[in-house]
Amino acid sequence: PLLEVPARLLRVEDPRLQVEAFGLRFPNPLGLAAGMDKDARALGAWWALGFGFAEVGTLTPRAQEGNPRPRLFRLVEDHALINRMGFNNQGAERAARRLKSFRERGLSFPLGVNLGKNRDTPLERAAEDYERALQVLEPYGDYFVLNVSSPNTPGLRTLQEGPFLDELLARLRPATRKPLLLKVAPDLTFEALDQAVELCLKHGLEGLVAVNTTLERPNLKSPLAKEAGGLSGRPLKERALEVLRHLSGVEGLTLVSVGGVEGPEDVWERLKLGARLVQVYTGFVYGGPLFPRRVLKGLLKLMEAEGVRSLKELWVPIR
């Protein structure tokens, strides 16, 4: 009840913004990306601020501390962040309890759950970690994302490579009938990306979240540019768009675009390029709590200007 007042002021409820993706209905296409609410502690707030959905995590089967601080840096001159958090989280079971109690409030707000492996789990046993976390959280998420692309867990990105990924997907697909997506790195070559797509289709995944943070440092002005970790925000925009354009012809996978989203024009561009949903993290950090409202109001104006009566008009149906 406490959140209903801000929700009435902030949420943009408009049927023109509704989206259907991988069998779920979203009130609007703007979501909170994983990493902001690692332990599912502020679910009601994301709803009240106006997001169409939120993705919690990354969650690992066991709680872990993550990397030593400082581990998050604001590159103000670049409208960017660098993080090397290292999957700090309280573990799958605590998050499952929070998700369960949120579910009992009956809000129709889709929740994604982003899954990872514990740092001390060897790569050859990584699939067991994802499977354990998925088993614990499966009843409470609406869709699940396999995070094999964070640059801050040593060796994790190896799981994007053919043999590892094939085994991981073969093991996890049977573990849930809910939508399962793969989150990919912006630093993959198009060839590696195509291989990941092929494996997603082979194993019947529903979609791709593109992209995670980058290890590249494209023309940064901030003195913090040399900090280790993954870069997000404005400098990632160009690569996120390149990857989206490359993936936009893929049939049978729903695309969730993330990376460098700062305003309604970015969301509109990505929806027209074939993304069904768009996520934000750094843009929200810089844009503040009114960001979702501003973006969705702006999106409606852009739709009106182009004579688009509803987002459903943008896409031919995906199976």
Average pLDDT over residues 253-260: 98
Average pLDDT over residues 280-307: 98
Residue 279 scores a pLDDT above 90: yes
Q: What are the residue ranges of helices labelled H in 52-189?
A: 92-103, 126-137, 162-172
Residue 16 scores a pLDDT above 60: yes
Check residue 319 and report its DSSP letter: -
* 254: three-class secondary structure by DSSP: strand
* Residue tagged active-site, from 101, 108, 150, 310: 150
* 317: three-class secondary structure by DSSP: coil
Predicted pLDDT at 318: 46
What pLDDT, in 10s, does the model give residues 41-78?
999 999 999 999 999 999 999 999 999 999 999 999 99
* Six-digit token string for 220: 């940064």
Q: Write 162-166 long-range contacts (CB < 8 A, 24+).
A: 162/195, 162/199, 164/123, 164/126, 165/195, 165/196, 165/199, 166/199, 166/202, 166/203
Active site residue 150: yes
Residue found by looking up tokens 């499977």 in the block: 131
The shares of helix, strand and coil residues in the chain, as percent rounded to the nearest 5, are 40, 20, 40
What percent of the chain clears pLDDT 90, i.e. is strictly above it? 92
The Cα 187–Cα 149 span in angstroms is 9
Average pLDDT over residues 237-246: 98
Residue 236 scores a pLDDT above 90: yes
Q: What is the 3-state secondary structure (H, E, C) of 13-48?
A: CCHHHCEEECCEEECCCEEECCCCCCCCCCHHHHHH
Q: Write 68-77 long-range contacts (CB < 8 A, 24+).
A: 71/229, 73/224, 73/227, 73/229, 74/224, 74/285, 75/220, 75/221, 75/222, 75/224, 75/225, 75/231, 75/233, 76/222, 77/220, 77/221, 77/222
Residue 194 scores a pLDDT above 50: yes
End-to-end CA distance of the chain: 38
Average pLDDT over residues 203-214: 98
Residue 133 contacts residue 59 (beta carbons within 8 Å):
yes
Find, among 299, 308, 297, the residue nearest to 11 by Cα.
297
> Can you identify the CATH homologous superfamily of domain 4-314?
Aldolase class I (3.20.20.70)
The domain ranges of the chain are 4-314
Per the omega criterion (within 30 degrees of 0), is the bond before 282 cis? no
Residue 275 contacts residue 250 (beta carbons within 8 Å):
no
Do β-strands 19-21 and 24-26 pair in parallel, antiparallel, or remain unpaired?
Answer: antiparallel
317 — pLDDT class (breaks 50, 70, 90): low
Predicted pLDDT at 315: 77
Check residue 138 and report its DSSP letter: T
Do β-strands 180-184 and 72-75 pair in parallel, antiparallel, or remain unpaired?
Answer: unpaired
* Six-digit token string for 18: 């509704």
Residue 296 scores a pLDDT above 60: yes
Residue 297 scores a pLDDT above 80: yes
Which helix (H) or strand (E) segment holds residue 113: the answer is strand 111-115
Predicted pLDDT at 17: 98
Average pLDDT over residues 196-204: 98
Average pLDDT over residues 175-204: 97
State the chain's maximal CA–CA distance in angstroms. Answer: 53
User: Which has the minimum average pLDDT: 28-42, 153-167, 232-246?
Assistant: 153-167
Residue 319 scores a pLDDT above 50: no
Residue 188 scores a pLDDT above 60: yes
Average pLDDT over residues 87-98: 98
What pLDDT, in 10s, does the model give residues 136-160?
999 999 999 999 999 999 888 999 8
Residue found by looking up tokens 């999106």 in the block: 299
